[in-house]
Amino acid sequence: MKSLKKQRRIQVILVAFVALILSTALIGYAMRDGINFFRAPSQVIAEPPAPTEVFRIGGLVEEGTLKRGEGETVRFSVTDGGASVPVVYTGVLPDLFSENEGMVGTGSYVNGVFEATEILAKHDETYMPKEVIDALKEQGVYQEPEDG
């Protein structure tokens, strides 16, 4: 009788272990497209990602590079002070989007141009995403905002 209980306990543990592995694999498979890594322009230039990889890029919109094309297509460069990456975006830009301001874009790097599918701009005078601040500090460009 004890042998039957022991065997049943081992079977339950094995089934639970297999279920845990299967559920972890399914979650990882489902999230593969939802995970976007952040890269600074210097990192993109140093190690260009594959054209199929979707990632986020952030920095400052380089002054003098904002050009509006036909329709809703916009071209500009994003910089972290060490490198600049040209960006093309088709869509409506956020109201607070402007030159020399922080931005984060999601998209792919194809033929030397970041093709953005989404652009986010800072939402007030002092906010900038942590990743952008870290990238700018690394290049020695970031200046702490003055309290006023």
What's the pLDDT tens digit per position in 17-75? 999 999 999 988 887 666 668 888 988 899 888 888 888 998 888 888 888 877 788 99
What pLDDT score does 4 carry?
85
Residue 106 CA from chain centroid, whole number:
6
Tokens found for residue 89: 């975006």
How is 48-63 classified by DSSP, letter by letter? PPPTT--EEEEEEEPT
Measured distance between the N- and C-terminal CA atoms of the chain, rounded to whole angstroms? 79
What pLDDT score does 72 carry?
83
What pLDDT score does 80 carry?
86
Tokens found for residue 65: 């590079």
The pLDDT of 104-120, averaged and rounded, is 92
Other CB atoms within 10 A of residue 136 CB: 22
pLDDT at 148 over 50: no
Residue 102: what residue type?
G
The pLDDT of 123-140, averaged and rounded, is 66
Element holding 86 (H helix, E strand):
strand 84-90
pLDDT at 118 over 60: yes
Nearest Cα to Cα of residue 81 among 122, 40, 47: 40
Task: Spell out the residues 6+ positions from residue 28 whose beta carbon is closer than 8 angstroms to its own.
Answer: none
What pLDDT score does 27 carry?
87
What pLDDT score does 97 carry?
84
Residue percentage of the chain with pLDDT more than 70: 83
Residue percentage of the chain with pLDDT more than 90: 28
